[in-house]
Structure 1
């Protein structure tokens, strides 16, 4: 199959390139805009309690306002607010309300919003829309900050804004142009490294141009699929898509170019050399892409819509990259021929690659020692995983100098920490009848008696009296672990048990939402990861025609995953003293280290099998495979790791965690697993690694029967949807 693809695109390169240009233009012009959402509640299934709360709220209180932010006022000297100070706060709040900011319903304050110690006074900002994470509200928050500070210029007061919208504004501004930074760093790394390796400006620039074209096609297809399927892509998909496309795209192009250069050195004409390169490495690229695609599609099993929509989007992007790698890339380089390497002539000579050859000799000569040492490093790093703590409070990752962070600290000096985002408790009569006031009063007392609850407001009753809402202020910050444990444990237990006969009690709000997200993520870890592992093992089995190799390859991948998280825990929790790691970090490591990093293992083990199939002894096959594959793996790994390493420059600690974890995990996969551990284990197993089909026949020919190869081609085609 791959031989036919290689011959077709190299014989008709202009037709292939023209087809891609037409497809790109059509996709860009006809595809709809990629939809997005930042409302995480939309991503949870209906059986979660916070989703049920929202349904009740929409029925009972359809016109209820949505808290967007809180303005925190205090004296510059930290003292108690006088009557004149309180009057000044009221004047500022009234003045801001009169300005009519976009998508802001109201700004209110009053004596009841003065803290018990008299040092802090609040003004609540409510949104006119259900979603407080809109561009209009963000702009309004920025304007209010400027206007309020101007009004306080001649007073002894100062202010700061915190709450959901204000924190979101600070988070985006602290991250800066992260997407642009990632893109520029990726392009620079790709161009510089390819220029150093191939010494050709064309080879340095062409992959960037090709992947940019693929990016346009993939984005259009994802938007179209989202519109047809009614899906909503999370706002983080675009930045992740950049890294995925440039990461796997560069990997596959390098896999092909290194083999193309190798074929040219044998004296084969350029077009024939490229066709042979596609034939030799096409199966490896397809298998690597297949492993990544099924890993991403395993996210469809997630209970969180954010991951369910992310999975198909990333799978589509990898699928487009695969097709481009086997058609567009060969066509372009077949058309250019050896001119692609201009002005360098180094492609004609076998590079020395002294480090690669020394590593190859070490691995082949002492596989037991190398396996023990590399495996020992991974096990040692894995031990750090036992201290892992998931962090759900995004504000903890923000720099301490940001206004929303300092305002939250000021608020905590006068009020319970949960004042900015109260937890909402509902009681609903399932018969639709009014609930007696005395019953609601008793229910409120029981909720207020829960340890950790600071204050419970009087019940707000729906027009028909069948639903009552209690605003519950917790003693903890809304997103910290203690708040999540309280809401998901004692508070919900009390609400469910104390609900009067014939009614049901529900707990909602931002803290309850995070608690449900935590439960969903923990459930997903136990379902998605095993499913992806099984799917990747099937891909490896098809590629290698073996039932042995996939087991130790997946064991190595699993060890690399745990080692990566363990090292991240040690650095950020133990050394830097962070409270925990981003709760989505294991998923990010899964996406970029396990899924994409498996490419390097596949490239290495495919070359090991190829050399063994030529009649080489296990040690000789390992020596040649490592010597030839290490430069490709090293280059691809450094580019992808460097892309994520840029995130270490961000001020946001969660972005730093992601940057370190993924870049370190990629380097670990490339240089420890793919180059050392996997070939060492394969050497130790010898021909047993390829059971039930021997990698070499007695006469040194390929041991795979023609039928086996045909079955592999058919199976791979089915898996990839061809």
Structure 2
């Protein structure tokens, strides 16, 4: 404790506060001058798999044996609700001739529709005469920004050819005009990048505004509202160049999605850590006349919980490095670095501001000691200075008293309610469809829907089955054609280097991204392997490769499930070890971990009800459970640590029931305000046009609220009362508190 007092004086004392502030300003300025920005080095073309994934191995065989002469396709889907006219088709041919003569930026070819007679072109129109697909190929090695440049130029030329019509902006149901949408790999990639680019700035502004408004409403102090935001701003200013430096050195890679969610995490969790110290400081100012003395006591009482909470989140996020799925792994370093820097800012920069402003931090509602209040009343000639104002009974006092009086009832009711939500999680449906996370009016999604509706859902992404059958006719096509979900199977193509390799394009009667198609993929592999085995070809399992978007979705589902099975136990074990080390109690560790797991599964269930019935979602993205687990469990444990630390401290000098009552009362306000702010920042994600972020933000916000209003004020204190002094086992109350104080 003496060491913590010295640290508090070093960063918040008369000289230390100015020195700390100067160091932060100089460090952030130097980092931004000398290191690159994280936004300049983000890469939205990063893949999610290594070379061990079956779909990646299949793609390697395809590139070697069946090299594509064209580049990556953008599929221009032309549509007129009343039917394409001859004039429409001639203008499409004019556009085709134009881009063939004057290639677009990064264009790598195009379908020569201009070379076809009009009658031949008509035969490529859909059966109902409304839709035509025009492939334009782009450089496979170019990024989404380069592809965007090519599509932008394509829009200009399209507007010139279709003078006055602007087909890219025409509504699809407008029968009086022709419309076009760019879909396929290029269109989908460009739209995905654009959605996240547009989200970056709006997300940052919305998050800052929300945190500022909530702080003003909760604490009614403009100065206090700015302190956490300034601290988070400094942390953000330090984190982004550090990430840019690490990316430039080749140590890490990240994308727009990682940076967007990192912003939310930094403002939400960062504000929480600041409030833990600020609330303790305000409480101490009501007992200590000297602001520095109050700051020392506040720092000694809150710093351990802040450090412990930050360490819990950092280690939990670093556990994502164990993931094989790239999107999970890319979150680990940016998120953990952001929390680590924010934790340092909370323990250095925030005390410096509080030491600098003192009681003025809370203007106009300045906390004072009873003696100061009496002197102020006397000076204003109000009231009797000998009579102190009676202590106000807060809702935290009432909850603490209720929990102590009826712990069994409280524990039973809260557990039952949470279990109801847990049962709802059993009905969750998952999807790995990338397009389903786009807004319905996104161009690539609209184009994809047109192709599926007018040409068949499996046309855009056939399953590519490659077999090494040698010279034998293995009957693979017949075996695949007999499967129930298969619409058609192409004739075999022979490998360019190995004549014994053959490839079949299997068109499914379902969208290649649909859960039905993904679940069907093992049947396709089994049929191909069985055909080889029936032909007497040995080692059939090693002679079959499955490629295409459906195979990628299947590998995504397998990899994410495997990652969840690996990472979730690691995070639980890390949190358990940290809790035991901090609290010196196995019993407390067990019920704290159990309650936060209960809140996670109940958040999934309640989140599914909100998303399904409130937002109309038929399924949630399959990546959400692990994303939500890391944040709900790690951040939810923060509140438990902060409250239990207070209970442990009180238990040294009073009966356990009274310790619980005062612990709930003392931490209730700050944890409630912190929980509202954290939930609010994650809820900001629900305002974005990207469904995966909407779903992640909604479920995580619900999990935080459940922790804030059910688990922390009711369930955890009730379990502590029910356990009695056994809650400290194997230590006693004094030993447990001494251990946590030593680490504070």
TM-score, normalised relative to structure 2: 0.86
Q: Which residue of structure 2 lines up, in the alignment, with residue 2 of structure 1?
A: 4
Q: Which residue of structure 2 lines up, in the alignment, with residue 43 of structure 1?
A: 48
Distance 1:32 1:501, change over 3 A: farther
Deviation digits for residues 208-238 of structure 1, max 9, x if unmatched?
A: 1111111121222233334445331133111
Please give the alpha-carbon distance, in whole angstroms, between the structure 1 residues aligned to 2:156 and 2:363: 57
Give the SS at the match of 1:631: helix
Q: Which residue of structure 2 lines up, in the alignment, with residue 672 of structure 1?
A: 710
Please give the alpha-carbon distance, in whole angstroms, between the structure 2 residues aligned to 1:300 and 1:281: 30
The answer as to 2:304 corresponding to 1:259 is no
Deviation digits for residues 450-507 of structure 1, max 9, x if unmatched?
A: 43233344455554345554443322112111221223x1222234444566882211
Q: Which residue of structure 2 lines up, in the alignment, with residue 590 of structure 1?
A: 629
* Matching residue within 52, 59, 72 for 1:54: 59
What is the Cα deviation at residue 645 of structure 1?
2.0
Q: Which residue of structure 2 lines up, in the alignment, with residue 506 of structure 1?
A: 545
Residue correspondence of structure 1 range 234-245 to structure 2 within 5 A:
234-245=255-266
Q: Which residue of structure 2 lines up, in the alignment, with residue 478 of structure 1?
A: 512
Is the 2:289–2:368 Cα contact (8 Å) retained in structure 1?
no
Q: Which residue of structure 2 lines up, in the alignment, with residue 140 of structure 1?
A: 150
Q: Which residue of structure 2 lines up, in the alignment, with residue 624 of structure 1?
A: 662
Give the SS at the match of 2:133: strand
Please give the alpha-carbon distance, in whole angstroms, between the structure 1 residues aligned to 2:198 and 2:86: 44
What is the Cα deviation at residue 575 of structure 1?
5.7
Please give the alpha-carbon distance, in whole angstroms, between the structure 1 residues aligned to 2:459 and 2:228: 52
Please give the alpha-carbon distance, in whole angstroms, between the structure 2 residues aligned to 1:595 and 1:143: 47
The answer as to 2:715 corresponding to 1:643 is no
Distance 1:413 1:191, change over 3 A: closer
Deviation digits for residues 668-709 of structure 1, max 9, x if unmatched?
A: 1111111111111111112111111111xxxxxx44596x56
What is the Cα deviation at residue 61 of structure 1?
5.4
Q: Which residue of structure 2 lines up, in the alignment, with residue 382 of structure 1?
A: 422
Q: Which residue of structure 1 lines up, in the alignment, with residue 81 of structure 2?
A: 76
Please give the alpha-carbon distance, in whole angstroms, between the structure 2 residues aligned to 1:575 and 1:241: 27
Is the 1:70–1:420 Cα contact (8 Å) retained in structure 2?
no
The answer as to 2:561 corresponding to 1:555 is no
Is the 1:145–1:161 Cα contact (8 Å) retained in structure 2?
no
Please give the alpha-carbon distance, in whole angstroms, between the structure 1 residues aligned to 2:299 and 2:424: 42
- Higher mean alpha-carbon deviation, 149-158 vs 9-18, is at 149-158
* Pairs aligned (count): 693
Is the 1:103–1:136 Cα contact (8 Å) retained in structure 2?
yes
What is the Cα deviation at residue 365 of structure 1?
1.9
Q: Which residue of structure 2 lines up, in the alignment, with residue 417 of structure 1?
A: 457
Residue correspondence of structure 1 range 115-264 to structure 2 within 5 A:
115=126, 119-130=130-141, 134-145=144-155, 147-148=157-158, 151-152=161-162, 157-170=178-191, 177-228=198-249, 230-264=251-285
- Higher mean alpha-carbon deviation, 399-408 vs 199-208, is at 399-408
Q: Which residue of structure 2 lines up, in the alignment, with residue 27 of structure 1?
A: 31
Please give the alpha-carbon distance, in whole angstroms, between the structure 1 residues aligned to 2:319 and 2:195: 33
Please give the alpha-carbon distance, in whole angstroms, between the structure 2 residues aligned to 1:379 and 1:177: 39
Give the SS at the match of 1:220: helix
Q: Which residue of structure 2 lines up, in the alignment, with residue 274 of structure 1?
A: 295
Is the 1:397–1:654 Cα contact (8 Å) retained in structure 2?
yes
Deviation digits for residues 127-177 of structure 1, max 9, x if unmatched?
A: 21246x611212433443454366356897543332233244455666784
What is the Cα deviation at residue 335 of structure 1?
2.4
Q: Which residue of structure 2 lines up, in the alignment, with residue 102 of structure 1?
A: 105
Distance 1:178 1:269, change over 3 A: same
- Higher mean alpha-carbon deviation, 666-675 vs 64-73, is at 64-73
Where in structure 1 are there 5+ consecutive unaligned residues? 430-434, 696-701, 717-722
What is the Cα deviation at residue 508 of structure 1?
1.4
Is the 2:145–2:190 Cα contact (8 Å) retained in structure 1?
no
Please give the alpha-carbon distance, in whole angstroms, between the structure 1 residues aligned to 2:719 and 2:65: 64
Is the 2:428–2:619 Cα contact (8 Å) retained in structure 1?
yes
Is the 2:72–2:139 Cα contact (8 Å) retained in structure 1?
no
Please give the alpha-carbon distance, in whole angstroms, between the structure 2 residues aligned to 1:486 and 1:127: 31
Deviation digits for residues 275-304 of structure 1, max 9, x if unmatched?
A: 221111111111111111121111122121
What is the Cα deviation at residue 513 of structure 1?
0.8
- Higher mean alpha-carbon deviation, 99-108 vs 275-284, is at 99-108
* Matching residue within 567, 588, 605 for 1:566: 605
Residue correspondence of structure 1 range 369-448 to structure 2 within 5 A:
369-427=409-467, 439=473, 443-448=476-481
Is the 1:207–1:253 Cα contact (8 Å) retained in structure 2?
yes
What is the Cα deviation at residue 116 of structure 1?
5.1
Q: Which residue of structure 1 lines up, in the alignment, with residue 319 of structure 2?
A: 298
* Matching residue within 332, 356, 359 for 1:338: 359
- Higher mean alpha-carbon deviation, 42-51 vs 393-402, is at 393-402
- Higher mean alpha-carbon deviation, 262-271 vs 632-641, is at 262-271
Please give the alpha-carbon distance, in whole angstroms, between the structure 2 residues aligned to 1:333 and 1:156: 64
Please give the alpha-carbon distance, in whole angstroms, between the structure 2 residues aligned to 1:214 and 1:514: 37
The answer as to 2:335 corresponding to 1:321 is no
Deviation digits for residues 575-613 of structure 1, max 9, x if unmatched?
A: 655321121211231132211122111111111111112
Where in structure 2 are there 5+ consecutive unaligned residues? 166-175, 374-388
Is the 2:73–2:136 Cα contact (8 Å) retained in structure 1?
yes
